[in-house]
Amino acid sequence: MSHKVVIPIGPYHPLQEEPELFRLYVEGEKVVDIDIVLGYMHRGIEELSEHKHFDQVPFLVERICGICSSSHPYAYVLAVEDIMGGEAKIVPERALYIRTIIDELQRIHSHLLWLGLAGHFIGYNTVWMWAWRYREPVLDMFEMISGNRNHYGMSKIGGVRRDIQDEHIPILRKALDDLVPAVDMFKGAVMDDPVIQARLKGIGILNKQQSIDWCVVGPTARAAGVDIDVRRDDPYGAYDRVKWSVIVQKDGDIFAKTVVRILELYESVGIIRQCLDKMPKGDIDANIKDVPPGEGIGHVEAPRGECFHYVKSDGTNRPIRHKIRAPSYMNVASNKIAAVGGTISDAAITLAAVDPCYCCTERLAVLDKHTDKKIMNGWDLIKLSQEKTEKLKGNI
């Protein structure tokens, strides 16, 4: 009879901000079951939001996630504007373009961050360093536009808080021009590398039907052939005014998820360039004073998928109910399918492949189920993953 052991992954990892605990049940090398424990960072933001007035809430929800920190306030203001008749009717044209530019810059920095981490987990530390090196100029652009590298504070009900200055536009364009060769390099390094193909193809698969059943969103769904993207399906901002395409792959494995994210970087660069070309002069804020009673839904395509906010107002200056659903909430649950049946050496990259706002592999430890004695720690597991890559390198 085989010996079943439990591997707890998490809850804390210093690189990412959201702790979570995965208990992997393994027999030998094979993962036979997984238990996902959440709640280490449950701050009760939905409840807190009911005690803030409408203009304070964007600053609160911005702090849900440090990586998609424009998506949450954007989805929230869309929900409030939905109560008042919709973003397109209220918000000035220039503000729509500025919102779109910020949203896409955020996608670029988030995808580069994930690419680096994914590289690290499979032993490509060069990819890690290079990806994060090219992420820096994007953060500098944020600092130039909003004053902050993270938590931009740009979204406001009825518009944006800061304008993009004319003298900043050429600098932004230059940063994008410098980024494209870097993305070309990553595209070549990942898509043409036989070792990465051998390492990432066919593992951590979530097929199309499973993606639909688990209601996953974003690149995780698109990698499996589910053609959804809120930016196209329910357009907000200036997405219906620019030309771009939704990247869809069909395999559903980790390689497909990587390809989706890399190709989306090109689309994001294209969207920002078109927005800079088309952005009209004018107001950036509609000066909304009151929110009427009613209920509204706002959803945006965050880097990880659909970010959903529901706001109910009773005509006072506070929301009476504010429901928030981050994309990882749907995607992380699907690890139950993607990781089970794989091996431990694939677990680190599989759990990271949905791009959860966290990845706790550093605190990974293998415990014997009966004695709780530590057999392996987190570094051993990353090492295991990296050793597998080395072994594949030798074979190819």
Q: Which residues bind another protein (CB under 8 A)?
A: 38-40, 42, 44, 46-47, 82, 85-86, 212-216, 227-228, 230, 233-235, 294-297, 299, 306, 308, 310, 312, 321, 323, 325, 329-330, 333, 336
Q: Which is nearer to another protein, 54 or 186 (CB)?
A: 54
CB of 224 to another protein, least distance (A): 13
Entry field: residues in the chain: 396
Strands of the sheet with 30-37, listed across from one edge: 30-37, 21-27, 4-9, 366-367, 374-376
The rounded distance, in Å, linking the Cα atoms of 186 and 261 is 11
Sort strands 319-325 and 366-367 into parallel, antiparallel or unpaired: unpaired
What Å distances lie between residue 294 and 27, 182, 206, CA to CA? 53, 47, 38
Q: Which two tokens stand for residue 67?
A: 């990586």
Question: In terms of CB distance, is 116 or 219 closer to another protein?
Answer: 219
Query: By the 8 A CB rule, do 84 and 289 touch?
Result: no
**Least distance (Å) from another protein to the CB of residue 267?**
18
Q: For residue 134, report the phi and psi dihedrals to the nearest 5 degrees.
A: -80, -10
Give the DSSP per-residue string, 37-50: E--TT---HHHHHT
- Nearest-approach distance from CB 40 to another protein, in angstroms: 6
Distance of closest approach, residue 324 Cβ to another protein, in angstroms: 9
- Return the number of the residue (266 or 329) whose C-beta is nearest another protein: 329
Nearer to another protein, 279 or 339 (CB): 339
Q: With respect to another protein, which residue has the nearer C-beta, 75 or 157? A: 75
Minimum CB distance to another protein smaller for 22 or for 308: 308
Closest approach, Cβ 228 to another protein, in A, equals 4
Residue 313 CB, nearest distance to another protein (Å)?
13
| DSSP-assigned beta bridge partners for residue 5 | 26
The answer to whether the CB of 271 falls within 8 A of the CB of 239 is: yes
Say which residues have a Cβ less than 8 Å from residue 144's Cβ, sequence separation at least 6: 168, 171, 172
